[in-house]
């Protein structure tokens, strides 16, 4: 197994007793990451969405890690899913983004809130990569404040009719089904989550290509023009859409945070290897003390980032047993906000340091640090910006009376 990843598992072994099955899943995550690295690099250089990567993830059973066995998954805990995602994060956050949406944001949301019919319809197909899923919350004018969304649905007989635009949606232009959040046109207070089949009439999509990273990940804009969805597409109760969205983001944020640990590990691995082979001023650059500082800082970042993420993942086991328990929800929100805020900042800083160790070659997508640097910036934005998470953390500490917004 890849050395840095093996060390994470060994360190965690002090607080978690891994079963044989869990270790075998993590071995598979390691093998899948090795294999995905080859195609990921080629596609990254060409700025092409990598559709080979999900096939490899499926081959190694990664798309169903936290999905219950009755739907064909491994039935594993968040901790194991987080560790698998950590390993994938070493490749950058592009495939990680696909994975985060397919598994953490969409499949887990269907598993938690979907009807039995929806679970049977989507979960097994999603973990077999037979369908791609997406999560459509953000709009051009509703990002950090998703509750101000303008997309609407109207009930007509046994159908919902949707109108609006969703923007910056991962997997948006390749997904077969998207969980769309929309407001009831007759009762503005009601927001609901509705599963939209992207083959439906009135769905228009556009790929957003002009990103500054995540080159192998699809990001799309979706226009919905009188799109008719059978009412069996409602996910969760009508009017409880924001509840569904926030519980989905709780999983999604944890997924992003674990990918960030991978970015730090990838940065460390690359920086160490460069420091041990590049010679300047007559000696290996790793023997220059200022380069040693970069390496020590990245190693410290790894230590600071991973424990809040593991803690949040382990606490999730408690929360999953009693997901309506208010105290457990609040603890999960705090731990997840801390984990994502800390890990994403340290991931970006680590990738920056790794680029510095590489010098000019680091400012290139041909160097292993290029993708880590370009990709990791987004982790401070999507699924809750730094600022929104800070407000969440402050509110949890100060109390509800200090809530910055509701
Ligand atoms: C590559 C990519 C993929 C994405 N994938 C998805 C996806 O799959 N599904 C999805 O629904 N969305 C997705 N998003 C959207 C993402 O979640 C939003 O970009 C994010 O929530 C921020 O919203 P915004 O971009 O509208 O920024 P804004 O909300 O306009 O924020 C701009 C700035 O203002 C700050 N700000 C806003 N409100 C406050 C406040 N009250 N106090 C202090 N500061 C504040 C923000 O923190 C930020 O710094 C994706 C985004 C990107 C870039």
Residue nearest to atom 25 of ligand 1 (CA): 143
CATH class of 241-402: mainly alpha
Q: How far apart are CA 239 and CA 121, in angstroms?
A: 23
Task: Could you please state the CATH topology (level 3) that the domain comprising 3-131 is classified under.
Answer: Butyryl-Coa Dehydrogenase, subunit A; domain 1 (1.10.540)
**Structure-block tokens of residue 101:** 């949406």
Ligand 1, residues 134, 246, 385: which to mutate, most atoms within 8 A of Cβ? 385
pLDDT in tens, the chain (406 residues): 999 999 999 999 999 999 999 999 999 999 999 999 999 999 999 999 999 999 999 999 999 999 999 999 999 999 999 999 999 999 999 999 999 999 999 999 999 999 999 999 999 999 999 999 999 999 999 999 999 999 999 999 999 999 999 999 999 999 999 999 999 999 999 999 999 999 999 999 999 999 999 999 999 999 999 999 999 999 999 999 999 999 999 999 999 999 999 999 999 999 999 999 999 999 999 999 999 999 999 999 999 999 999 999 999 999 999 999 999 999 999 999 999 999 999 999 999 999 999 999 999 999 999 999 999 999 999 999 999 999 999 999 999 899 988 7
Residue 394's H or E segment, with its range, is helix 386-398
CA of 387 to the centre of ligand 1 (A): 10
Please, which residues have CB within 8 angstroms of residue 217's CB and are 6 or more apart in sequence? 49, 50, 93, 94, 95, 97, 98, 170, 171
SS3 238: coil
Integer angstrom CA distances of residue 275 from 290, 292, 314, 366: 11, 8, 35, 17
- Concatenating the DSSP letter of every residue in 147-206 gives GG---EEEEETTEEEEEEEEEEEETTTT-SEEEEEEEETTEEEEEEEEEEETTSTTEEEE
Domain ranges across the chain = 3-131, 134-235, 241-402
Cα–Cα dist 19/258, whole Å: 21
Determine contact, residues 181/192, Cβ cutoff 8 Å.
yes
User: For residues 391 and 404, is the Cβ–Cβ distance under 8 A?
Assistant: yes
Q: Which CATH superfamily is domain 134-235 in?
A: Butyryl-CoA Dehydrogenase, subunit A, domain 2 (2.40.110.10)
Q: Quote the ligand 1 centre to 11 CA distance (angstroms).
A: 34
Of 265, 333, 383, 395, catalytic? 383
- Report which protein residue has its CA nearest ligand 1's atom 37: 144
With a Cβ cut-off of 6 Å, ligand 1 is lined by 101, 135-138, 143-144, 168-170, 214, 219, 378, 381-383, 385, 387-388, 391, 404-405
Residue 383 known to be catalytic: yes
Q: Name the residue at shortest CA distance from atom 44 of ligand 1.
A: 387
Instruction: Quote the ligand 1 centre to 389 CA distance (angstroms).
Output: 11
Whole-angstrom Cα distance, residue 149 to residue 178? Answer: 16
Q: What pLDDT score does 241 carry?
A: 98
pLDDT at 405: 80
The answer to whether 310 and 326 have CB atoms below 8 angstroms apart is no
* Candidate from 140, 173, 381 with most ligand 1 atoms within 8 A of CB, to mutate: 381
């Amino acid at each position: 197994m890849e050395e840095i990843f093996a060390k994470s598992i060994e360190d965690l072994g002090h607080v978690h007793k891994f079963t044989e099955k869990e270790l075998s899943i993590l071995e598979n995550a390691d093998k899948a990451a090795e294999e995905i690295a080859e195609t990921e690099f080629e596609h990254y250089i060409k700025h092409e969405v990598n559709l080979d990567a999900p096939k490899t993830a499926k081959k190694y059973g990664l798309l169903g890690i936290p999905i219950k066995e009755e739907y064909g998954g491994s039935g594993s805990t968040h901790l194991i899913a987080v560790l698998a995602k950590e390993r994938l994060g070493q490749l950058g956050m592009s495939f990680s983004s696909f994975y985060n949406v397919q598994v953490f944001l969409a499949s887990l949301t269907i598993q938690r809130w979907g009807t039995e019919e929806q679970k049977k319809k989507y979960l097994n197909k999603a973990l077999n990569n037979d369908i791609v899923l997406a999560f459509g919350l953000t709009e051009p004018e509703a990002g950090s404040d998703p509750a101000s969304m303008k997309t609407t649905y109207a009930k007509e007989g046994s159908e919902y009719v949707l109108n609006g635009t969703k923007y910056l949606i991962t997997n948006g232009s390749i997904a077969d089904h998207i969980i769309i959040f929309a407001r009831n046109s007759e009762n503005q207070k009601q927001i609901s989550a509705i599963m939209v089949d992207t083959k439906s009439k009135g769905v228009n999509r556009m790929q957003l290509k002009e990103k500054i990273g995540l080159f192998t990940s699809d990001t799309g804009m979706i226009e919905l023009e009188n799109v008719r969805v059978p009412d069996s597409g409602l996910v969760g109760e009508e009017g409880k859409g924001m509840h569904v969205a926030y519980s989905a983001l709780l999983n999604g944020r944890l997924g992003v945070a674990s990918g960030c640990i991978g970015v730090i590990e990838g940065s460390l691995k690359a920086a160490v290897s460069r420091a041990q082979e590049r010679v300047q001023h007559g000696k290996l650059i790793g023997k220059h003390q200022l380069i040693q500082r970069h390496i020590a800082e990245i190693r410290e970042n790894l230590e600071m980032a991973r424990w809040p993420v593991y803690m949040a993942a382990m606490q999730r086991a408690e929360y999953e047993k009693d997901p309506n328990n208010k105290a457990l929800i609040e603890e999960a929100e705090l731990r997840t906000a801390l984990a994502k805020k800390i890990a994403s900042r340290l991931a970006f800083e680590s990738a920056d340091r790794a680029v510095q160790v590489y010098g000019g070659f680091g400012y290139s997508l041909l160097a292993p640090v290029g993708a880590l640097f370009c990709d990791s910036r987004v982790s401070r934005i999507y699924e809750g910006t730094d600022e929104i998470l800070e407000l969440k953390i402050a509110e949890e500490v100060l109390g509800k009376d200090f809530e910055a917004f509701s």
